[in-house]
Structure formats: structure tokens, C-alpha cells
Amino acid sequence: MKIRINDLLDEINDFSADTLENVEAFRIKFLGSKGLLKQLFTEFKDVEPSLKKEIGQSLNNLRNSATEKINSLKNSLENNIQVEHNYGDLTKPEEPIELGSMHPISIVKNQIIDIFSRIGFTVSEGPEIEDDWHNFTALNLPEYHPARDMQDTFFIEKDPDILLRTHTSSVQVRYMEKNKPPIRTISPGRVFRNEDISARAHCIFHQVEGLYIDTDVSFADLKQALLYFTKEMFGKSKIRLRPSYFPFTEPSAEVDIYWGLETETDYKITKGTGWLEIMGCGMVDPNVLKNANIDPDVYSGYAFGMGIERIAMLLYQIPDIRMFYENDIRFLKQFKSVI
Ligand code: DAH
């Protein structure tokens, strides 16, 4: 009898059920009026008196185990049913899924990448935390160069200087250090300047840098590439290059596009001239090539840099640069239709 009781105890411990019907069948088998325990208690009458105490305890234990098992299985199965009830009306139509939208900075960045990749430019990236060499010195901006003041810098460490890059031109240097000409690359990225925040300026913004190095690259190549870009990006085919100064290019220029004077807004954004400045550019200074171990007697190249926010503001008539970073859903939602 002891062996049978132990076997039944194992059976109870191993039992599991996934429906209430199975639990009920199990209850009837063990605890029902003609169940196993009933039989065992009947047989118990004939047990030798010296064993009665021990076997009686085992039998009680067996009954308790069966009862506990049944209760706990019932409990968990019933609770599951409760959870199912919380699903509510399963025949109700689904709530529509809100479609997200790309951020205007991403939209414009991708457009620029797309346009330049069609004429063979690849995309390259560099770190946002830079050293002095890549952000300034290698770009022909040695220590104490007055042009360093053009870009108010956030410094992280002094001597040696570690800083947040002030422009994506730093990626030019990194790219030239790792790749030999011919080079055709654009480098989009985030840049940082210690400037007062206003409707037109922010301390964090985005730029795209372009770099083209090969033998016999001339200013005419630069102009053609820019003309192609402005046609594709803005649908405008009149540009002008105004002489300017950047330490890393010689000669340097600023690029204006003829925006037109058709609407009142055109008058406002072009200050009545019809012209809009969109980027800086020039022929890479021989010193910059030398700093990246490229022989300026063999190679020449052009570079350009533009602000993504500025272009997005023009394209989408966004009046305040701060709107890009506030993540106001009413602003962002307006770019849903643009991919
Ligand atoms: N790095 C310049 C800036 O942040 C933009 C620029 C101008 C980049 C001329 C160039 C360039 O590559 O040739 O204002």
C-alpha cells in the first residue's frame, strides 16, 4: 500500500492540465465518490494496527496534495480566462495605425545624398568630438589664426584641445588621410557652435560637406557640379559665385542661387534682391592637401559646405530654425507626404 501511495503522489506532482475539464476529470479520479482515495481509505480499515499511524498520515498527505493541485490548477486556468475577457470585443474594427513622418532635416539630407550619389559621390562620416588638428590646423587654420574666431567653439578639453566640431570640413581631412585620390565624397553631419540661439541661428545644426580630388580638377568642374545640384535640389538654374574667404580653399566663393521675386515671401527672404546665399566653396588649398599627404603638384580638388537647416527652411518656408528641434508634433506631422 505504501508503494501505491508513493506512486500516486508522483502522479499528482507530475500532473498538469490546460483545460478546466481535465482538472475536473483528475478530481473525479482522485477525490470523487468512487475515486482512488475513497478506495484507499476503505482498504485502510484492514491495515495492521502497528502501521495504521504511518499509513494514515501518508493517506492524508496524499489527499491534501491532490486537493492543493486541483485548487492551484483551477485558479490559474480561471485567471487566464479572466485575462481573455479583458481583450474586450474582439470583433471591433482595429484602431488605425498612425503613420509616422521623416524629420525635415532627414528629408533634405537624404535628398542631398541622393543628388550627389548620382554623380559618383559616396557618403562618409566623422566623429562629432574632434581634435584641433582635424577641425582647425589641418584645414589651414593654425593656432592664433584670426579665422578661428569665425566659428565659436565648444571646447571639451584644453591642451591638447578636444572640441565639438564646428563644421563637417573636419571629415574632409579624415577622409583624405584614409583614402587616395580620386576622391568624391560628401559628409553630412551635426555640428556645434557656441552661438546665441535665435530664429536664424542655433548652437547645434547640420551641414553637408563635399570633396572632390583628382588630377586636373578646375574651378569650372566645381561650378558645373554646383549648377547640377541647384537644378536638382531647387529647380533653379541660375547661380552666381561671389569671391569670399575660407582658410581651407583658395580661391573661395559663396554660392548664391537666383530664387526670383515672384511673391512677397521671395522679396522678404532675398531682401529684395532675388538672390539667396546657399553655401561656401572653393578649390582645396594646397596646404590642406599637403597636411593629408596628398601631393598638390599632382592633384587638385574642390570642396563645398552647406547648412541643411538653411536649405530646409528655404524649401519648406520654415520661419524659425528652433522649430527643427522642438519636436512639436504639429510641425513634424506636416512632412508626412514627403519621403
Ligand atoms: N566649413 C565652412 C563653414 O562651416 C563651410 C565651407 C566653406 C566648407 C567652403 C567648404 C568650403 O568645404 O570649401 O562655414
254 CA to middle of ligand 1, Å? 9
C-alpha dihedral over 134, 140, 145, 147, to 10 degrees? -90
| N-term to C-term CA, the chain | 78
Q: Is any ligand 1 atom within 6 A of the Cβ of residue 302?
A: no
Q: For the segment 7-57, what is each residue's pLDDT rounded down to a tens digit?
A: 888 889 888 888 888 888 989 998 998 888 888 888 888 888 888 888 889
Q: Is any ligand 1 atom within 6 A of the Cβ of residue 249?
A: yes
pLDDT at 21: 87
C-alpha dihedral over 268, 269, 272, 273, to 10 degrees? -170
Of all atoms in ligand 1, which is nearest to the CA of residue 168?
Answer: 1
Question: Which of 134, 252, 281 best tests ligand 1's pocket when mutated (most atoms within 8 Å of CB)?
Answer: 281
Task: Collect all residues with Cβ–Cβ distance below 8 Å to 298 and sequence separation of at least 6.
Answer: 215
User: Per-residue pLDDT averaged across 135-161, rounded?
Assistant: 89
Residue 84: φ, ψ to 5°: -60, -40
Q: What is the DSSP letter of 121?
A: P
- Atom 6 (ligand 1) nearest CA: 305
Of 53-57, 145-149, 300-304, which has the strongest mean pLDDT? 300-304
Nearest one of 213, 222, 223, 187 to 289, comparing CA atoms: 213
Of all atoms in ligand 1, which is nearest to the CA of residue 248?
Answer: 13
- In this structure, of 49-58, 101-110, 252-261, 276-285, the range with the lowest mean pLDDT score is 49-58
Of all atoms in ligand 1, which is nearest to the CA of residue 284?
Answer: 13
- pLDDT reading at 338 higher than 80: no
Identity of residue 336:
K
Say how many CA atoms lie within 13 Å of 224 toward its Cβ. Answer: 7
User: Per-residue pLDDT averaged across 140-163, rounded?
Assistant: 88
pLDDT at 106: 96
- List b or e across 29-60, with b for residues whose CB sees 16 or more CB atoms inside 10 angstroms: bbeeeebbbeebeeeeeeeeeeeeeebeebbe
- In this structure, of 27-31, 153-157, 240-244, the range with the lowest mean pLDDT score is 27-31
Q: Is any ligand 1 atom within 6 A of the Cβ of residue 246?
A: yes
Cis (ω within 30 of 0) for the bond into 251? yes
Nearest one of 121, 152, 122 to 135, comparing CA atoms: 152
Return the ∠ at Cα 312 (arms to 174 and 228), rounded to 5°.
70
160 CA to middle of ligand 1, Å? 24
User: Per-residue pLDDT averaged across 290-308, rounded?
Assistant: 97
pLDDT at 81: 59
pLDDT at 84: 55
Q: Does domain 104-220+287-338 have CATH number 3.10.28.10?
A: no
Of all atoms in ligand 1, which is nearest to the CA of residue 191?
Answer: 4
Q: Is any ligand 1 atom within 6 A of the Cβ of residue 281?
A: yes
User: Per-residue pLDDT averaged across 283-305, rounded?
Assistant: 98
User: Per-residue pLDDT averaged across 213-225, rounded?
Assistant: 97
Domains of the chain, by residue range, sit at: 2-87, 104-220+287-338
pLDDT at 85: 59
Cis (ω within 30 of 0) for the bond into 160? yes
CA 48, 53, 54, 59 dihedral sign is positive
pLDDT at 210: 98
304 CA to middle of ligand 1, Å? 6
**Do the beta carbons of residue 282 and residue 303 sit within 8 Å?**
yes
